[in-house]
Amino acid sequence: GAGVSQSPSNKVTEKGKDVELRCDPISGHTALYWYRQSLGQGLEFLIYFQGNSAPDKSGLPSDRFSAERTGGSVSTLTIQRTQQEDSAVYLCASSLGLPPLHFGNGTRLTVT
Amino acid sequence: SQQGEEDPQALSIQEGENATMNCSYKTSINNLQWYRQNSGRGLVHLILIRSNEREKHSGRLRVTLDTSKKSSSLLITASRAADTASYFCATDELTFGKGITLSVRP
């Protein structure tokens, strides 16, 4: 497909478990972003990858959160020891390094 | 702090009316973008305006930028029920506000 793909679309997990969220950006896009959107809230920046540069991790809320981008393409956001406050929609976006951003439809994470 | 902050938080209008949404920001920018988010979906880019532009049009959308006031407005003319969505502004720092919920009543 031509767009940003995220999987799974929905994830329900028990408190304390680890989860992995996947993002397939648009082919050729050098920049990849992760955001978190809680109910009724705006988008909270989490992490930004640009080419081979060190990622900007300044938005990660705790050391339970980490992300990788392998081969400059697919990215995985990992949340360890999930908490109920981690419940949110996690959005991935990619770009050619400049706006605009192209978003996926997100992964809705529910921690029970 | 968030760079782009939209107002009003919610707007309800009748189909056919115009909708005006505002965005304010704090620091100098290179460009400002507006995005739309339909329920359960990701954000879709609508329009980008550069700091040296004052107004830009795209179909029924009109965006203005006032760098002296650090503000932008998005006007949707002749609104349709399908315009019902949340609208976000973002600056080149790519920080987003809480968005504006627009409801267009048929």
Identify the CATH assignment for A5-111 out of 1.10.760.10, 2.60.40.10, 3.10.180.10, 1.20.140.10.
Answer: 2.60.40.10
Q: How confident is the model at residue B36 (pLDDT cuts 50, 70, 90)?
A: very high
Per-residue burial over B69-97, b = 16 or more CB atoms within 10 Å of its CB, e = otherwise: ebbbbbebeebeeebbbbbbbbbbebbbb
Domain that holds residue B20: 5-105
Q: Per-residue pLDDT for B93 more than 90?
A: no
What is the mean predicted confidence (pLDDT) over B41-51?
95
Q: What is the pLDDT of residues A22-54, one digit of tens each?
A: 999 999 999 999 999 998 778 999 999 999 899
| Structural domain count of chain B | 1
CB contact under 8 A, A99 and B92: yes
Better-scored residue on pLDDT, B7 or B23: B23
What is the pLDDT of chain B when averaged over all its residues? Answer: 93
Tell me the per-residue pLDDT of A40-91, one tens digit each, with 9 for 90 and over: 778 999 999 999 899 999 999 999 999 999 887 999 999 999 999 999 999 9
B10 at the A interface (CB within 8 A)? no
> What's the pLDDT band for A1 if we cut at 50, 70, 90?
low
- A81 Cβ partners below 8 Å, 6+ apart? A16, A17, A18, A64
Position B6 pLDDT exceeds 90: no
Q: What is the CATH number of the domain that holds B36?
A: 2.60.40.10
Q: Does B3 touch chain A (CB under 8 A)?
A: no
The answer, yes or no, to whether residue B83 has pLDDT greater than 90, is yes
Write the residue in A42, A99, A101 that is nearest to B98 by C-beta: A42
Tokens of A24: 């397939």
